[in-house]
Structure 1
Amino acid sequence: MPRAKGGFKTRHRRNRVLKEAEGYWGKRSKAYRSAQEAVDRAKKYAYRDRKARKRDFRGLWIIRINAAARLTGLSYSALMGGLKKAGVAIDRKSLAELAIQDPVAFTKVAATARESLAA
């Protein structure tokens, strides 16, 4: 009986990995074993960085909101505290977009926060 070398399933799996490794440098795109290691590592980084991207964007939004808030005479924490106290439920992404696209509207939002802090 001949030894089992792997048939369609094995070839199919290897070809899938090599297809995923297309564009990698040198042996990483040609040899199955190197390609498998490179693809596994790439998927691990992709998973990790999908989570990190969310943190990075939140940080960016906070920086933008803080910069815009300081132009209105409030700190970031005072602005957010005032908005919470006033019952304004607007997320940081929208607030940062407002600060960039429509500074007049952001100033009104900041005024609402300031009023609730004074009350």
Structure 2
Amino acid sequence: MRVKRGFKARRRRKKVLKLAKGFRGGHSKLFRTAADTVDRALAYAYRDRKACKRDFRRLWIVRINAAARMNNLSYSKLIHGLKIANIDLDRKVLAELAISDPNGFAHLAGIASQQA
């Protein structure tokens, strides 16, 4: 006897096609191509959530290093001096401080250079 699989299969297909909304051509209309494209898109999304964190950290470090060198200090000496002085600012905040408040950053750099 033939089994048509009923609502379970339809629910699975609708879920995939809903995720494929916005894709071009058959990638949003045909189940098999949509399923392949959605799998790849989800894998890229998972990978790039991790990569985004890495990329922003690299950007912050570049900005902090540039600001530190304007104050005659290397990045590593700045971070080491701040750690010894028990100043717990993360790299995101330090980078924002370097851009928006150069005088405040220079004050922190002065403290770090005394410690190092």
Shorter-chain TM-score category? over 0.9
2:93 counterpart residue number: 94
Aligned AA (1:72) = N
Equivalent positions of 1:3-82 (< 5 A) are 3-82=2-81
2:82 counterpart residue number: 83
- Point out where structure 1 has 5 or more consecutive residues left out of the alignment: none
Whole-angstrom CA distance in 1 between matches of 2:4 and 2:108: 69
Whole-angstrom CA distance in 2 between matches of 1:4 and 1:31: 22
Whole-angstrom CA distance in 1 between matches of 2:99 and 2:11: 50
Aligned AA (1:44) = A
Aligned residues: 116
Aligned AA (2:97) = L
Which deviations, in whole Å up to 9, do the C-alpha atoms of 1:62-103 show, x marking residues without a partner?
A: 000001101111111111111112121111011001111111
Which deviations, in whole Å up to 9, do the C-alpha atoms of 1:10-37 show, x marking residues without a partner?
A: 1111011111101112111111011011
Q: Offset at 1:4?
A: 1.2
With normalisation by structure 2, the TM-score equals: 0.96
Q: Among all aligned residue pairs of Structure 1 and Structure 2, give the percentage whose two residues are the same amino acid.
A: 59
With normalisation by structure 1, the TM-score equals: 0.93
Q: CA RMSD in A?
A: 0.9
